[in-house]
Structure 1
């Protein structure tokens, strides 16, 4: 099941007035629950494959892939490393609502430092840095949905 199908399913459930939908196909399990007030869906997504942070070197402007990732690196961004989301979920910059963010623009990070949390299926997965450097840009807003392989941070490794 691809992301487009999941998004269409979420829209359908939100508009239908159904309280809960569960779907299992192969190694993917999805549960969508809507609240009665605003019909806001509560989505649970499970994929049985293990996940690890995805890091790639930014070499050229990335093609426009998804509406949630409007990232078009400028020419000077080519020297930065992009840290990407290893899973679909909700991006959180803080460990808890009353805590301060893990990192800010300008923060110096080391290998293994926690950069953010991505919530998937009510599990909060800490995303750790695979590189050392300085955070140049945070590409996603707090509490925003993120897609697999979506750029989250730009890091200057120098």
Structure 2
């Protein structure tokens, strides 16, 4: 399923009175559940910085928002650039349990290089670098669950 569609569905649920939405498209299945407390909180998969930035730009109602837009708005920090998760899943530093990690702290990376794998619905999805740089910090432990848009790596 296209990431833009998933993001649109998340936005739809968060902006409406719907508490749960389940969509099936072929073999892909997405279930989005809004948290019970409705005290101005946002789903954990969307950062509050992104929501604030997004709300300021509502006059710019572009239907082409995507993961790239999210990365551009949330990845430039004072401490360096962030590589974020393109989906919800489980973070793995190596292609298999007995393999060496794709990258380590201090490694120089190039655009397109595989940095990690995020497993979602029993599918292994490689996460490529979207820019050149040096791995300054790995922000997630191997085998831990990650959210859409969650920072995985900090680049120097």
TM-score (norm 1): 0.55
Matches within 5 A, 1:75-114: 78-114=78-114
Matches within 5 A, 1:59-70: 59=77
Are 2:118 and 1:118 aligned? yes
Query: 1 or 2, which has the higher helix percentage?
Result: 2
Runs of at least 5 residues in structure 1 that lack an aligned partner in the other structure: 3-22, 32-50, 60-77
Superposed CA RMSD in Å reads 2.7
Count residues in correspondence. 100
CA separation in 2, counterparts of 1:89 and 1:142?
A: 12
Deviations 1:27-60 (A, max 9, x none): 57259xxxxxxxxxxxxxxxxxxx867634333x
- Secondary structure (helix, strand or coil) at the match of 2:90 reads strand
1:97 and 1:26, CA in 2 relative to 1: closer, same or farther beyond 3 A?
Answer: closer
Q: Is the 8 A contact 1:55 1:130 kept in 2?
A: no
Query: 1 or 2, which has the higher strand percentage?
Result: 1
- In the alignment, which residue of structure 1 is the partner of 2:147? 147
CA separation in 2, counterparts of 1:154 and 1:115?
A: 12
CA separation in 2, counterparts of 1:147 and 1:86?
A: 8
CA separation in 2, counterparts of 1:141 and 1:100?
A: 15
TM-score (norm 2): 0.56
CA separation in 1, counterparts of 2:85 and 2:119?
A: 11
Are 2:76 and 1:58 aligned? yes
